[in-house]
Chain A
Amino acid sequence: MPDTRPGAVKNSKESVFDLFGQKVLVIVGKGGTGRTTVARILAELGTRSGRKILVIAGTSGTHFSDHENPLLSFSSLEPGEVLISYLNDHGLGQLGKRLSSTGIASIISTAIPGIADLLVLAKIKQMERSDAADLIIFDAPASGHFLRLIATPKGLADIAAAGPLQKQSRDVLDMLADPKRLGVALVTTAEETPVKESIETMEKLSAQSGIKARALFVNSVLPSQIDDSAMASAANTDTPSHRAAQYTNARAQSQRKFDQLAAEKLGLRPLEIPLVPTVELGDSDIIYLADVIKSRIRVRL
């Protein structure tokens, strides 16, 4: 009987996702789907192969556990903070700390929508050009915001008067357009809203910048489905185990439907991340999940 479980390895290694096929890997997904989890798994896989990995969080709020791993470094780029430091470096430093309190930074970011986001991408580009890491994993902000972020350099490059920003925009556009330099990994859960949002995000992303997703991670997939015959053979079918089995099967069925929908619409083979029975993933959980993913993808060593 063919194994149709959502988390099952359908065709080992058939899903070829080369982790090092690009220098920058952007993790995109709806809020709450587990972008940081995917970033951690990919960082684990990357450092295993002896490469230097830099994880950049798109918000200052994200926490990434402190690693002893010398190959792994972490940094965060909060757009507001990046804008202020840019303005400081470009002659507005005389206002010093008052730059944010005088409201000038917020006037500038409102007058030039996306300027802060552009500067975030420019920072990433700068790190990409340096030898800071072999792979930069960008744990991007939630997908709605990310779309705006990606649209920024194009919008700004069109404004001739943008001065020094013009070059920044062009450089960032070059990076976005080059699949050898930058790739996107999508994250979703196998539910209606996140899957639909992922499909929409990729359509817009593709139309705006030609960026295509390299990999599709489906998070929190129930690890098993119960064999119906085992359930039917029992004399009493109203036991805790039966109720639990019915629940698991109903959810697994629903998950499979959306897993398939995502796969079909996005043209990617989903890489399922099993649901771990915990409220917070520890380092050992990440190692386990990295093993699961490694069995499905090619990691160039």
Chain B
Amino acid sequence: MSLELIEDSRVIICLGTGGVGKTTTAAALGYMAAKAGRHVCVVTIDPAKRLADAMGIKELDNTPKKLETSSDIDLWAVMLDANSTFDELVQRFATSPEQVEKIFHNSIYQNLTENLSGTQEYMAMEKLHELVSDQRFDLLVVDTPPARNAIEFLNAPKRLIGFLENRFFRLLISPTQSVFRPVTIATRMLLRTISKVVGAQVVTDAVEFFQAFEGMEAGFKERASEVQDLLAQESTSFVLVTGTHKDTVEEALYFASRLGEFDLEVDLVISNRVTPDFGKSTDEDRQNLSREMQENLDYLIKLRTAELEELSRLAVIVDRSRHILVPQLAHDIGSLSEIQEIGEVLIDSKSRFVNSVSP
């Protein structure tokens, strides 16, 4: 059995918490898809040079770079730079060069990407939107930011737009509308308090920020709804990546339920670093073995048993034929050959939970 997902999808989105091997999984999926003849771009947010190194790319940045391999595969990678993606968006939606300048110089704007939660995720979606219409690729594999929870990722467009549409400050910059006058007086009192507590500069910056963004929300809104449509399409697949520990499994269950609220479905679950299956000793083996070796095997069997039991809780998300168990490799991941190794595991039907041997 091959992996239908990498043959049929237009977009594959990998979701999971930090430290579960999401970046490696995305790279391995991308590699196998390219090997199957697809034109693939892996979109990563991982600032670590490791992936670039492993893929033989000197430096990843905001423009896709092609992987140099001995085999003839079409695999690209791009690293999300949320700041420049946001800058490009502003330039696209601004009505004048002056507006662009004003926004770029505003300190709230400068801090936005780093400090407003959800902005990174929004920009990842934005980059995706841009790459979908890039003729060079027919499959995009997205390694999402290690969000603390799924809400960040799915609510990102809504959150940013909510921020830009801030009612409170909107009222403040349109004092001519007399209807709002009483509100404005209350508002001004509040502003004085804010100034006292956190400094007047905050208020000045905020007012400037909302003035500068005036008239741009419509563009952002339209973009966001296009991204939502893209996520809802049949050709967009969601892959949930987990580890074997209880907390990553809990997180995966939570992710899946949040996706459900957005009418989105998990297509595949990949659990990394599962203790391998070594088989069971025969009685004859047991007699010949050192106690140390026997204890080691028993220890690993115990660990694998606990892991599989925990992972079987994910059956409520997908059935076991769509749950891949990637064994813990004895060596560390870090080169293209290891990404290939993981890739081969992913398409091997023996890796499916349904076909795995329980100790």
| Residues of chain A having any CB pair with chain B under 8 Å | 30-33, 59, 61, 87, 90-92, 94-95, 102-104, 106-115, 142, 148, 159, 161-165, 191-194, 223-224, 226-227, 230-231, 234-236, 239-248, 250-251, 254, 258, 275, 277-280
Which of A61, A112, A242, A250 has a CB less than 8 Å from the CB of B148?
Answer: A61
* B292–A224 touching, CB < 8 Å: yes
Is B200 part of the binding interface, using a Cβ–Cβ cutoff of 8 Å?
yes
Of A162, A192, A193, the residue contacting B198 (CB under 8 A) is: A162
Report how far A230 CA is from B116 CA in the complex, Å. Answer: 58
Partner pick for A227 among B149, B201, B246, B292, CB 8 A cutoff: B292
Residues of B within 8 Å of A, CB-based: how many? 70
Q: Give Cα distance in the complex from A3 to B337, angstroms.
A: 33
Contacts of A30 in B (CB 8 A): 18-19
Which residue of chain B lies nearest to A148 when distances are taken between CB atoms in the complex? B114
List, in ascending order, chain A residues with CB within 8 A of B330's CB.
246-247, 250-251, 254
Q: Does B281 contact A (CB under 8 A)?
A: yes
The answer to whether A224 and B116 touch (CB under 8 A), given A32-B18, A254-B330, is no
Cross-chain contact A231 with B198 (CB below 8 angstroms): no
Residues of B at under 8 Å CB distance from A? 17-20, 48, 50, 107-108, 111-112, 114-116, 146, 148-149, 162-163, 166-169, 190, 193-194, 196-202, 205-206, 243-249, 276, 278-282, 285, 288-290, 292-297, 299-300, 302-303, 306-307, 309-310, 328, 330-332, 334
Cα–Cα, bound, A87→B195 (Å): 12
| Most chain A CB within a 10 A radius of its CB, from B112, B149, B197, B292 | B197
Please, which residue of chain A has its CB at the minimum distance from the CB of B106?
A111
Q: Which residues of B contact A113 (CB under 8 A)?
A: 111, 114-115
On whether the beta carbons of B199 and A162 are closer than 8 Å, the reply is: yes
| Residue from A61, A165, A226, A279 with most neighbouring chain B CB atoms (10 Å) | A279
Question: Is B205 within 8 A of A111, CB to CB?
Answer: yes
The smallest beta-carbon distance between B135 and chain A, in angstroms, is 35
Cα–Cα, bound, A110→B106 (Å): 11
Contact A277 B303 (CB under 8 A): yes
Say whether B292 contacts A230, CB under 8 Å. yes
Closest to A255 in B: B332
Instruction: Determine how close the nearest CB of chain B comes to the CB of A5; give it in whole angstroms.
Output: 11
Q: Which of B17, B202, B244, B299 meets A108, CB within 8 Å?
A: B202
Interchain nearest-CB distance for A159 vs B (Å)? 7
Q: Report A277 CB to chain B, min CB distance, Å.
A: 4
Is the Cβ of A241 less than 8 Å from the Cβ of B289?
Answer: yes
Output the least CB separation between B176 and chain A (Å): 22
State in angstroms the CA–CA spacing of A231 and B66 once bound together: 46
Chain B hits for A230, CB < 8 A: 290, 292-293
Using Cβ atoms and an 8 Å threshold, which residues of chain A touch B111?
Answer: 110-111, 113
CB–CB B293/A112 < 8 A: no
Q: Are A240 and B285 in contact (CB under 8 A)?
A: yes
Judge whether B296 and A245 touch: CB under 8 Å. Answer: yes
A248 → B minimal CB distance (Å): 5
Residues of chain A within 8 A of B332, CB atoms compared: 191-192, 254, 258
Give the docked Cα–Cα distance between A280 and B289 (Å). Answer: 30
Q: Is the CB of A32 within 8 A of B17?
A: yes
Q: 8 A-B Cβ contacts within 8 A?
A: A31-B19, A91-B193, A102-B167, A108-B198, A111-B201, A165-B199, A193-B50, A243-B278
Chain B, residue nearest A258 (CB): B332
If A248-B296, A248-B300, A279-B310 are given as contacts, then 8 extra A-B residue pairs at C-beta distance below 8 Å, sorted by A number, are: A94-B190, A103-B162, A103-B169, A111-B108, A112-B199, A159-B199, A162-B199, A240-B281
Partner of A106, one of B116, B167, B249: B116
